[in-house]
Amino acid sequence: MTQIQTGLLMLLLTFIGVVGYNIYINETTAEELSYSQFIKCLDDNKITSIHLKGGNATIESVTNLSFSTYIPDLQTILPLLKEKAVRITTEEESHGFSGLSSSMLPIMLILGGYLIFSRNSQNGKGNFSKGKSGSFQPITKTNLTFNDVAGISEARQELIEIVESLKNPEKFSILGGYIPKGVLLEGPPGTGKTLLAKAIAGEASVPFYSIGGSDFVEMFVGVGASRVRELFTAAKKNAPSIIFIDEIDAIGGKRSGGNATGSNDEREQTLNALLVEMDGFDSDQTVIIIAATNRPDILDPALLRPGRFDRQVTISLPDVKGRRRILDVHAKNIKMAQGVNLSEIARSIPGFSGAEIANLVNEAALMAARQNKTAVDLDDFEEAKDKISLGLERKNIVISEKDRRVTAYHEAGHAITATLLPDTDPVTKITIIPRGRALGLTQQIPLDDKYTYSREYLVNRIKILMGGRVAEEIVFNHQTTGASNDIVSATEIATRLICEFGMSPNIGPVAYMHEEAGHLGGTSSQKPYSEKTAQLIDKEVKDLIELCNQETKELLTKNNKFLHKLAEALLVNETVDAEEMDIVHHCYINEKNIEKELLKKQRED
């Protein structure tokens, strides 16, 4: 079918649709209920039954009257309906035109016209049946609180401030607080980013507007951008409010510039509209835009500029403690058989995300129900675990026990080197929970902003970086590729120490840094110094790193008991914070039982 034919057909169908729709309207006498009225009735227990046809709902009230409404987010409403014991009947959504909501008709008309007049044939194959109700309806009540989000205490702390600013915008700005505009939640799928955004809205009791990045992309050129504008208009009108954009990478990926294909065109227009809207706020309109992504690396830098998504909160996969808390949240309403130990279950599912844990509890309950058991027992959990793990393995998310061990020793090596050497930044967190491409992480935060660094500080940084690889070597007698980033960083510091800071006695206080040549490896052919100097620098860098490597090896060999203890603690707990690190250190010095001491602290938490 040519484009023009498609367009004409659409116009014709739309016409039939309008007529059909009017007949349909006249047939159904149910009074239209606004979405917020519907929510209120639901809250007040005034609804006895609901008949669903896609998002279109016919509602029976306690007074036996019937109403109709459109439910934009069924997923959110369903649990609420269940909670209120509303009888639910359903009917397959008809794909004819009689079920169209009135607001879609203008879109159809425009699309039909667009197809006829547009020369841009690329977009002709768009999927227009995805079009949704034109005006944005917030989910006024999310009812969720931070208590529903478990195991992400770090992120939670940062988000409490946002709730404060939403609850009390005036007070917040009078006190000189800077009200955040955009918050980017980054983390793997299923870690509770959506849940957290809803909990923020729930805590602050503000309307929550939500849209998925991929929703935009399936639309025609121009529609995405106008939806963004609509969304912001609605959210501003009801400020303070929250806009949640899931999978922002779908529209916020780096702009290609130039040879854009049709769909890129659409994406760029949508992204531009988003940027324009974000910049065009009055200070008295508190609308916080929360976006989620698991690909922060591909986002267009324009999105991350000050005044846009300048607050970034990383949400990682939960550690043992986190998994235990998430299990608690989801097992709250489930009857457990005796002998089900949730802590043990939490230990047995490394790598599970919050969503997978929710799924696990659900599956286990289903298994039990299928066998007419009165409570969920360990066998049910085992079966459910196998089922879910299988799916994970196929996606290659499960980390082998051997990799976990190597990672634990690697990170422990970094952390112990940092702890034992003088003049280093304190270790704030060590983890073997994978994040992005890294299998683990040792975090150090300087006590104060440093403007100058001593030679010893820099040399120790190199040693800390070597510590990971050295620990692997001592314990497993082998080297892995996991240390390649460490080596790059160590080489960079060593090179700067010698060339830029003039801290090498053999070369002296001469700066050999050059804009282009300055970047390690000296790939630039134009070095601002002689070949002889270049060789000398290379040798100095190599010698310094080798010396650091040797000394770190001696340090860790001498303290290898400490290394083993910390690695063991990491394997059990997955994350070790500053306080726990102190406990491990203390136990090592005083030859105390670490597990006992750590448990004592964890019980206090």
Contact yes or no for 49/84 (Cβ under 8 A)? no
**Residue nearer to ligand ADP on the CB measure, 9 or 298:** 298
**Contact string (CB under 6 A) for ligand ADP, positions 129-168, x = contact:** --------------------xxxx----------------
Asked if 326 touches ligand ADP (CB under 6 A), the answer is: yes
Would you state the structure tokens that stand for residue 17, as one six-digit string?
């649709």
Indicate the residue type of 41. C
What residues from 485 to 544 belong to the interface with Zn ion (CB under 5 A)? 486
Would you state the structure tokens that stand for residue 322, as one six-digit string?
């986190």
Would you state the structure tokens that stand for residue 44, as one six-digit string?
């007040």
Question: Helix, strand, or coil here: 376?
Answer: strand
**Residue nearer to ligand ADP on the CB measure, 540 or 574:** 574
CA quadruple 259, 260, 261, 262: dihedral positive or negative? negative
State the residue number with the nearest CB to ligand ADP: 354
Q: Is 161 annotated in the active site?
A: no
**Residue nearer to ligand ADP on the CB measure, 330 or 405:** 330
**Residue nearer to ligand ADP on the CB measure, 192 or 350:** 192
Q: What angle do CA 339, 341, 342 make, to 5 degrees?
A: 150
Choose the one of Zn ion, ligand ADP, none that binds residue 278, judging by a C-beta under 5 to 8 angstroms depending on kind.
none
Choose the one of ligand ADP, Zn ion, none that binds residue 354, judging by a C-beta under 5 to 8 angstroms depending on kind.
ligand ADP
**Contact string (CB under 6 A) for ligand ADP, positions 250-289, x = contact:** ----------------------------------------
What residues from 442 to 481 belong to the interface with Zn ion (CB under 5 A)? 468
Would you state the structure tokens that stand for residue 388, as one six-digit string?
């879910």
How many residues of this chain interact with Zn ion, rule: CB under 5 A? 2
Environment class of residue 61 by beta-carbon count within 10 Å: exposed (0-12), middle (13-18) or buried (19+)? middle
Asked if 7 touches Zn ion (CB under 5 A), the answer is: no
Choose the one of ligand ADP, Zn ion, none that binds residue 368, judging by a C-beta under 5 to 8 angstroms depending on kind.
none
Question: Helix, strand, or coil here: 35?
Answer: helix
Q: Which residue in the set 106, 189, 391, 521 belongs to the binding site for ligand ADP (CB under 6 A)?
A: 189
> Using CB under 6 A, which of the segments 173-181, 188-196, 249-257, 549-557 binds ligand ADP?
188-196
Q: Which residue in the set 17, 138, 180, 192 belongs to the binding site for ligand ADP (CB under 6 A)?
A: 192
Q: How many Å apart are CA 605 and CA 596, to the nearest integer?
A: 15
Angle of the 378-394 helix axis to the 354-370 helix axis, nearest 10: 130
How many residues of this chain interact with ligand ADP, rule: CB under 6 A? 17
Would you state the structure tokens that stand for residue 113, as one six-digit string?
């016209």
Q: Which residue in the set 17, 99, 190, 240 belongs to the binding site for ligand ADP (CB under 6 A)?
A: 190
Smallest distance from Zn ion to CB 566, Å: 14
Would you state the structure tokens that stand for residue 191, as one six-digit string?
């870690």
Smallest distance from Zn ion to CB 475, Å: 14
**Residue nearer to Zn ion on the CB measure, 101 or 489:** 489
Contact yes or no for 289/182 (Cβ under 8 A)? yes
Q: Which residue in the set 14, 191, 269, 407 belongs to the binding site for ligand ADP (CB under 6 A)?
A: 191
Asked if 320 touches ligand ADP (CB under 6 A), the answer is: no
Asked if 323 touches ligand ADP (CB under 6 A), the answer is: no
Indicate the residue type of 252. G
| Bond before 301 cis per omega within 30 degrees | no
End-to-end CA distance of the chain: 67
Q: E strands, 161-286, where?
A: 182-186, 208-212, 241-246
What residues from 194 to 223 belong to the interface with ligand ADP (CB under 6 A)? 194-195
Asked if 324 touches ligand ADP (CB under 6 A), the answer is: no
**Residue nearer to Zn ion on the CB measure, 199 or 464:** 464
Asked if 329 touches ligand ADP (CB under 6 A), the answer is: yes
Would you state the structure tokens that stand for residue 463, as one six-digit string?
């040693």
Instruction: Give residue for tokens 């760029």.
Output: 268
Choose the one of Zn ion, ligand ADP, none that binds residue 30, judging by a C-beta under 5 to 8 angstroms depending on kind.
none
Question: Helix, strand, or coil here: 88?
Answer: strand
By C-alpha distance, which of 207, 183, 139 is closest to 291?
A: 183
Q: How many Å apart are CA 426 and CA 404, to the nearest integer?
A: 24
What residues from 58 to 77 belong to the interface with Zn ion (CB under 5 A)? none
Smallest distance from Zn ion to CB 469, Å: 7
Smallest distance from ligand ADP to CB 316, Å: 11
Q: How many Å apart are CA 189 and CA 185, to the nearest integer?
A: 11
By C-alpha distance, which of 346, 342, 330, 340 is closest to 373?
A: 340
Note the helical H segments in 349-400: 354-370, 378-394
Task: Please identify which of the residues 203, 411, 551, 574 carries the catalytic annotation.
Answer: 411
Q: How many Å apart are CA 330 and CA 357, to the nearest integer?
A: 8
Would you state the structure tokens that stand for residue 562, as one six-digit string?
């400490």
**Contact string (CB under 6 A) for ligand ADP, positions 356-395, x = contact:** --x-------------------------------------
Which residues have a catalytic role annotated? 411
Name the residues that contact ligand ADP, by CB under 6 A.
Answer: 149-152, 189-195, 292, 326, 329, 354-355, 358
Name the residues that contact Zn ion, by CB under 5 A.
Answer: 468, 486
